[in-house]
Amino acid sequence: MIGLVVRRFFQLAFLLLGISFLVFASMYIAPGDPAAIIGGPTASESDVEAIRDNLGLNDPFLVQYGRYVTNAVQGDLGYSYQTSQPVWDAIVVRFPNTLKLAIASMIVAVVIGIIAGLVSALRQNSLLDVSATTFALAGISIPNFWLGAVLILIFSVNLQWLPVGGMSSPWYTIDGIKELILPAITLGTASAAIIARMARSSMLEVIQADYVRTARAKGVKESSVIWIHTLKNAMIPIITVIGLNFGFLLGGTIITEKVFAINGVGRLMIDAIAARDFPMVQGSVLLVAALFVIVNLVVDIIYTYIDPRISFD
């Protein structure tokens, strides 16, 4: 297990290096001059040139990238071109909102996905199975921004049951839970559909195994057959999908945060891209990439507890 963790952290280092290079190169060749944006419409050419020199934007690409990596290794992600605020400080302030949204969305996805997949597998080719399959197709197909707008229109504007947007209350309060409901459903629907499809196919494969038929032949209660013998052995691929989707949720909150006016990392990233705020974009992407790898490491560790036959040593 220790060997797995060490290997993954080495992989994380190389992955972040590669991602940092790609993001830095993308920002470097993107149209627009951040110095001109910072200077504003009233800045003269000499003022813009002075800003470029101050930010080091006139240096060759490799020099700029090498300086960025050297500073990043030391924990310095640079300063925002827009606000002159340290990038790390800006991310830390907004990350809790993104994390709360991702966790709430994952809870919605796991609960709905596993229940729908389980019911669909146990009632194969029935009306419930067809309904669950239809839900899965619809969940994957519906765009987040459209679903979010519809939910706001129904539950916030017409019924006035839930707030339109924002996330300012603690998650453990009634107001905090209300603020999370619509964004979590919006973001978690697609993941719920994917989990439901995986749970169904995995359950159908396991439920036909010899040890399940043997358990039933011995007179084991059907509930024990389903929850202990079947679902537990079907969880490996389901957990894989859950881990991957949680990583995607952490990086995929951009549209949902924009629709519901949530002050999170995704919204921060969108605003930074529009303003050509290179350090902010790079820092946000590196954070999401690191979290994605860490989540998958946790998933690999969970494998060994669910199925002792799995070993990564």
**pLDDT per position as a tens digit, 115-155:** 888 888 888 778 887 887 787 778 778 888 888 888 899 99
**How far apart are alpha carbons 298 and 254 in whole angstroms?**
24
Ramachandran quadrant class, 166 (left: phi over 0; alpha: psi -120 to 50; beta: rest): left
Q: What is the pLDDT of residue 310?
A: 60
CATH class for the domain made up of 95-306: mainly alpha
Distance CA(65)–CA(62), nearest Å, equals 5
Note whether 167 and 96 are within 8 A (CB).
no
pLDDT at 21: 87
Q: How far apart are CA 25 and CA 253, in angstroms?
A: 24
Per-residue model confidence as pLDDT tens digits over 81-116: 777 788 888 888 888 888 888 889 889 888 888 888
| Alpha-carbon dihedral angle through residues 250, 251, 254, 259, given to the nearest 10 degrees | -30
Give φ, ψ of 173 to 5 degrees. -95, 165
Cβ-contact 91, 283 below 8 angstroms: yes
- Contact of 250 with 52, CB cutoff 8 Å: no
pLDDT digit string (tens) for 218-270? 777 877 777 777 777 777 788 888 877 887 777 667 788 888 888 888 888 88
Q: What is the pLDDT of residue 296?
A: 74
- Is residue 311's pLDDT more than 70? no
pLDDT at 212 over 80: no
250 and 295 in contact (C-beta within 8 Å)? yes
Q: Look at residue 313 in the predicted model and tell me its pLDDT.
A: 56
**Which comes out higher in pLDDT, residue 115 or 11?**
115
| CB burial of residue 168 (10 Å; 0-12, 13-18, 19+) | exposed
State residue 167 phi and psi, 5-degree precision: -155, 85
Find the length of the chain.
313
The confidence score (pLDDT) of residue 58 equals 81
Give the residue among 103, 191, 185 at the shortest CA–CA distance from 148: 185
Each residue's pLDDT tens digit, 23-58: 888 877 877 777 777 777 777 778 778 888 887 878
Domain extents for the chain? Answer: 95-306
Residue 74: partners with Cβ closer than 8 Å, 6 or more residues away: none
Strand intervals (E) in 171-312: none
DSSP state of 32: S
